[in-house]
């Protein structure tokens, strides 16, 4: 009877595989094809130019600058988000002390959980509007308003957050962290709740403090979740299109001031749509794809640990 199993399984798989090939794999191959042409993006007329787009790309200082910004995000976004999320999750689940019920979170942890998760519920569009008001460059901006009220900033020279070459990437990073921590907090919370309470109680009885409990018990048991979060955040750091294109100055897809707010995706879109260099933009797309793939593979491999069974 065994042999009849395979046509049965294949029958179920045909449709999803075809859909996947047509809507995912084929566009990818097409993009690679277009990246070898001088396609303008608005008609089917194009010429084959070989690898010219790729060689141009690595001499393009704007692209390299954008790449640097993505690398900066790649370094800081996962570290800060995960550390914050871990800290909050720890405090909410096992950080509380002094009760008779043993291990539990700090007082009001259910309420905090909702508060922290809230940014995750907001759509990116709302997020952007919100932070436009926060970073507004005159005295009506939230940050500037506070600074001026506290007499830390001269009202005639407010901080132009997003128009400052040194601040703009950190401002974007701040938005993403603010919006992202809640999700990873919930993710880590779920993982912590599945850790048997007796392990914590044992640690408690042995006299472990909060720090020791965290590093010796919680973190090792959560490693799988941390690893997943790391990969996911690394991918997010390679993108950043929405925040950069809407919040940073510049007419088409932001990128300002003077390319200091540029990420690869915004530069790609400007070339694709505004400058009519779609072939060139496709080459960027291919490069971003491979960078992201390589990074994910590295992140998964480097962070590999033996799984602790419990």
Min separation Cβ 15 and other proteins, Å: 18
- Cβ-proximal residues to 266 (8 Å cutoff; 6+ apart), any chain: 66, 241, 244, 245, 248, 253, 254, 255
- Binding other proteins (rule: CB under 8 A), the pick from 82, 84, 85, 284 is 284
Contact between 289 and other proteins by CB under 8 A: the answer reads yes
Stretch that binds other proteins, among 65-73, 75-83, 105-113, 162-170 (CB under 8 A): 162-170
Contact between 182 and other proteins by CB under 8 A: the answer reads no
Considering only residues 243-282, where is the footprint of other proteins by CB under 8 A?
249-252, 256-259, 265, 268-270, 272-276, 278, 281-282
Neighbours of 14 (CB within 10 A): 9
Stretch that binds other proteins, among 8-16, 121-129, 185-193, 197-205 (CB under 8 A): 185-193
Rounded to 10 degrees, the C-alpha dihedral 274/280/281/283 comes to 180
Output the six-digit token pair for 153: 């900033």
Contact between 187 and other proteins by CB under 8 A: the answer reads yes
Contact between 293 and other proteins by CB under 8 A: the answer reads yes
Output the six-digit token pair for 170: 């950190």
Beta bridge partners of 104: 96
CA gap 110, 19 in Å, rounded: 42
Rg of the chain (C-alpha set): 24
Residue among 17 and 111 whose Cβ is closer to other proteins: 17
Stretch that binds other proteins, among 6-14, 110-118, 119-127, 138-146 (CB under 8 A): 138-146
Phi, psi of 245, deg, nearest 5:
-70, -30
Per-residue DSSP letters for 53-66? HHHHHTT-HHHHHH
Contact between 52 and other proteins by CB under 8 A: the answer reads no
How many residues bind to other proteins according to rule CB under 8 A? 74
- Tokens 């049965």 — which residue? 8
Residue among 194 and 212 whose Cβ is closer to other proteins: 194
- Binding other proteins (rule: CB under 8 A), the pick from 99, 156, 207, 302 is 156
Considering only residues 190-249, where is the footprint of other proteins by CB under 8 A?
190-191, 194, 224-225, 228, 231-232, 235-236, 238-239, 241, 249
Contact between 150 and other proteins by CB under 8 A: the answer reads no
Contact between 155 and other proteins by CB under 8 A: the answer reads yes
| DSSP state, residue 260 | T
CA gap 250, 258 in Å, rounded: 9
CA gap 248, 207 in Å, rounded: 51
| SS3 state at 104 | strand
- Binding other proteins (rule: CB under 8 A), the pick from 1, 157, 205, 302 is 157
Min separation Cβ 97 and other proteins, Å: 26
């Amino acid at each position: 009877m065994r042999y009849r199993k395979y046509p049965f399984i294949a029958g179920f798989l045909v449709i999803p595989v075809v859909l996947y090939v047509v809507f995912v794999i084929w566009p990818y191959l097409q993009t690679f094809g277009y990246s070898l042409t001088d396609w303008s993006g608005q008609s089917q007329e194009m010429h084959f130019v070989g690898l010219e787009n790729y060689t141009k790309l690595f001499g393009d200082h704007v692209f390299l600058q954008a790449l640097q910004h993505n690398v900066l995000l790649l370094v800081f976004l996962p570290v800060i988000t995960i550390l914050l999320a871990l800290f909050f999750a720890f405090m909410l689940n096992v950080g509380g002390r002094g009760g008779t019920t043993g291990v539990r979170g700090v007082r009001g942890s259910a309420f905090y959980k909702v508060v922290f998760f809230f940014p995750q519920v907001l759509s990116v569009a709302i997020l952007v509007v919100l932070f436009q008001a926060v970073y507004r460059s005159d005295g009506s901006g939230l940050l500037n308003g506070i600074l001026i009220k506290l007499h830390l900033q001269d009202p005639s020279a407010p901080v132009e957050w997003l128009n400052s070459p040194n601040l703009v990437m950190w401002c974007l990073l701040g938005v993403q962290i603010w919006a992202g921590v809640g999700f990873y907090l919930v993710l880590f919370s779920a993982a912590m709740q599945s850790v048997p309470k007796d392990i914590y109680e044992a640690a408690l009885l042995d006299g472990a403090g909060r720090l020791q409990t965290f590093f010796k018990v919680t973190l090792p048991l959560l490693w799988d979740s941390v690893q997943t979060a790391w990969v996911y955040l690394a991918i997010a750091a390679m993108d950043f299109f929405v925040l950069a294109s809407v919040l940073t100055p510049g007419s088409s897809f932001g990128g300002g001031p003077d390319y200091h707010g540029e990420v690869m995706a915004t530069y790609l879109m400007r070339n694709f749509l505004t400058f009519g260099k779609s072939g060139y933009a496709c080459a960027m797309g291919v490069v971003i794809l491979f960078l992201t793939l390589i990074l994910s593979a590295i992140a998964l491999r480097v962070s590999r640990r033996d799984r602790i069974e419990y």
